[in-house]
Amino acid sequence: MDNIVILDGYTINPGDLSWSGLDAFGKVQIYDYTAPEQVDERISDAQIILSSKVVFDEARFERHPQIRYIGALATGYNVIDVESARLHGVTVTNIPEYATMATAQMTIALLLELSNHVGHHNRLVHEGRWSQTEHFCFWDKPLSELSGKTIGLFGFGRIARQTARVCLALGMRVIAHSRRAIIDLPDDLKLVESVSFEDLLKISDFLSFHCPLTDETRGIVNAESISMMKDGIYLINTSRGPILNEAAVYDALCSGKIAGVAVDVLSTEPPPENHILYNAPNCIITPHIAWAPMETRRRLIDTAIDNLAAYLSGNPVHVVS
């Protein structure tokens, strides 16, 4: 039987789910986390590897010719050199679509936090602020009604489309920009307007990012693009951290050009203790949890097992190599 190694299983399954479905396919070794210097030793006898963030480059494939299959435990697989994998006869699969609903839900949660400041006011109540006022209510941040506001979506894949459905239900105008033509929309998305990138920047009251990290999207939010945005815009990022030039975002938050930012991702994860956005005004940061509801992680594990079963049966699916 094959030796199967999971290199970084803790974030996907910290103990509330099960990997037992893999047992039918070989001897399974699970590591919660694997440091870069530990990878070669841990995969030395493995034919099948499941991993989320561990780097597999040409040199690693050269050192380990026994590897036959790598299952990326994520939709993204940029840490795997798929061209080198192909040349070495290694099949690489990913897990598409598993977090569509959860990530759209997180986008809306961040949108609502920017407009209603629920967490902020909850903290103030527990600190005694409500008890100290003579009025029946209070607020110390502007509250915004979303109906009638314009949200721009950069990218218009499955997550953005689900986000658009909720925003339309809230009475928002939804505009979108995508590298692919936005055509033949279903009836419930007919009101979404396709616009240029420049108009997306100029028109949006809220701007949410739903795109992969590529050479073209890296740092696309920078001093130049921010200068084209409407004064007082709000930014939301649940895609990839490096899409934002964080220094430029910090400057725009401090100047008031950007009224608020809510991100679930940062350019370095985990971030350094002195990350520049920690001290930025009106900046909400969550620790890359959009994908992490139990139901979503269960779907990820089930798909990873199904991917491996399909590969071993000779009919691989979700192949990216």
pLDDT tens digits, 134-151: 999 999 999 999 999 999
The one catalytic residue among 288, 297, 299, 318: 288
Residue 174 is assigned to a structural domain of this protein: yes
Whether residue 105 sits in one domain with residue 59: no
State residue 184's pLDDT score. 87
Residue 2 β-bridge partners: 26
Whether residue 82 sits in one domain with residue 145: no
The one catalytic residue among 83, 97, 269, 295: 269
What is the distance between the alpha carbons of residues 81 and 77, in angstroms, rounded to a whole number? 8
Whether residue 268 sits in one domain with residue 142: yes
Whether residue 303 sits in one domain with residue 248: no
CB-CB contact of 107 with 208 (8 Å): yes
Whether residue 240 sits in one domain with residue 196: yes
State residue 46's pLDDT score. 97
Q: State mean pLDDT over 278-299.
A: 97
Q: Is the dihedral of CA 76, 80, 85, 90 positive or negative?
A: negative
- Exposed / middle / buried, residue 65 (Cβ in 10 Å: 0-12, 13-18, 19+): exposed
- Exposed / middle / buried, residue 207 (Cβ in 10 Å: 0-12, 13-18, 19+): buried
Whether residue 254 sits in one domain with residue 111: yes
Establish whether 288 is a catalytic residue.
Answer: yes
What is the distance between the alpha carbons of residues 305 and 4, in angstroms, rounded to a whole number? 12
**What is the enclosing helix (H) or strand (E) of 262?**
strand 258-263
Whether residue 125 sits in one domain with residue 69: no
Whether residue 124 sits in one domain with residue 94: no
The one catalytic residue among 240, 297, 299, 318: 240
Q: Could you count the other beta carbons within 10 Å of the beta carbon of residue 179?
A: 12
Whether residue 242 sits in one domain with residue 135: yes
Residue 20 is assigned to a structural domain of this protein: yes
Mean of the per-residue pLDDT values for the chain? Answer: 96
State residue 76's pLDDT score. 85
Share of the chain above pLDDT 90, in %: 95
Domain housing 148: 100-285
Quote the DSSP letter at residue 273. T
Residue 302 is assigned to a structural domain of this protein: yes
Whether residue 93 sits in one domain with residue 124: no
CATH number for the domain harbouring residue 307: 3.40.50.720
What is the distance between the alpha carbons of residues 208 and 243, in angstroms, rounded to a whole number? 11
Whether residue 148 sits in one domain with residue 74: no
Residue 321 is assigned to a structural domain of this protein: no
List Cα–Cα distances, 225 to 31, 220, 316, in angstroms. 42, 7, 42
Closest CA to 221 of 247, 196, 203, 195: 247
For the chain, how far is it from start to end, CA to CA, in angstroms?
Answer: 24
Residue 255 is assigned to a structural domain of this protein: yes
Q: List strands edge to edge, sheet with 69-72.
A: 26-30, 2-6, 48-51, 69-72, 91-93
pLDDT in tens, 66-122: 999 999 999 889 899 999 999 999 999 999 989 999 999 999 999 999 999 999 999
User: What global pTM score does this model have?
Assistant: 0.91
State residue 115's pLDDT score. 97
Query: Is 249's pLDDT higher than 90?
Result: yes
What is the distance between the alpha carbons of residues 191 and 61, in angstroms, rounded to a whole number? 48
Residue 317 is assigned to a structural domain of this protein: no
State residue 183's pLDDT score. 87
Query: Is 12's pLDDT higher than 90?
Result: yes
pLDDT in tens, 182-233: 988 999 999 999 999 999 999 999 999 999 888 999 999 999 999 999 999 9
Whether residue 47 sits in one domain with residue 153: no
Structurally, the chain folds into a number of domains equal to: 2
Residue 318 is assigned to a structural domain of this protein: no
CB-CB contact of 36 with 79 (8 Å): no
Q: Categorize the per-residue pLDDT at 180 as very low, low, confident or very high, splitting at 50, 70 and 90.
A: confident
What is the distance between the alpha carbons of residues 219 and 207, in angstroms, rounded to a whole number? 15
Establish whether 269 is a catalytic residue.
Answer: yes
